[in-house]
């Protein structure tokens, strides 16, 4: 089975929304009861529940986004996602869309740096008005994250 173009578009446009700091556009890619997790490969391998960010509904993602604009203090920055080709892992109910990525961190007065590498593990839902994430796990390759993870990945 090949990756549907609607799913590929969802994945790329969602990353581009983050890169443009368009958080409403980013949120629009999730269903109301979507789960979103950020964890590390080592945590996932060990089956540890604790990760860097857990949202069990879209409202929790909205709270996270609100806190970026109103509460958190951090150095202004944005990301650039470069996504590898999406591929399909597993079958039936176990099926996931896997998209490896590199994310770069851009600040105004410093050189751009590699921020993180990892992969998206996505399950999606098809509705009459489009396809959305119902379960996204962001698995980071390295346990060392050298700055506050302010913007979701």
Q: Where does this chain bind a copy of itself (CB under 8 A)?
A: 2-3, 5-6, 8-9, 11-13, 15-16, 19, 42, 78, 80-89, 98, 100-102, 104, 106, 108-112, 114, 116-119, 141-144, 146
Q: Residue 68: phi, psi to the nearest 5?
A: -65, -45
Least Cβ distance, residue 40 to a copy of itself (angstroms)? 11
Least Cβ distance, residue 54 to a copy of itself (angstroms)? 23
39, 62, 103 from 48: Cα distances, Å:
9, 25, 24
Choose between 71 and 144: whose C-beta lies nearer to a copy of itself. Answer: 144
CA dihedral sign of residues 129, 131, 135, 137: negative
The CB density around residue 70, as the number of other CB atoms within 10 Å, is 7
Choose between 67 and 112: whose C-beta lies nearer to a copy of itself. Answer: 112
Question: Residue for token digits 């470069």?
Answer: 82
Least Cβ distance, residue 57 to a copy of itself (angstroms)? 27
Least Cβ distance, residue 33 to a copy of itself (angstroms)? 26
Q: Residue 50: phi, psi to the nearest 5?
A: -75, 130
């Amino acid at each position: 089975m090949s990756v549907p173009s609607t799913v590929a578009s969802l994945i790329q446009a969602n990353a581009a929304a983050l890169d443009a700091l368009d958080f409403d556009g980013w949120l629009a890619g999730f269903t109301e009861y979507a789960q979103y997790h950020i964890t590390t490969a080592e945590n996932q391998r060990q089956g540890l529940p604790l990760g860097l960010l857990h949202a069990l509904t879209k409202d929790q993602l909205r709270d996270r986004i609100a806190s970026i604009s109103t509460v958190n203090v951090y150095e202004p920055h944005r990301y650039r996602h470069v996504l590898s080709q999406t591929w399909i892992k597993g079958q039936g109910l176990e099926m996931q869309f896997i998209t490896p990525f590199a994310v770069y961190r851009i600040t105004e007065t410093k050189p751009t740096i590699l921020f993180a590498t990892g992969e998206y593990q996505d399950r999606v839902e098809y509705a009459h008005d489009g396809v959305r994430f119902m379960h996204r796990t962001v698995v980071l390759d390295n346990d060392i994250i050298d700055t506050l993870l302010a913007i979701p990945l």
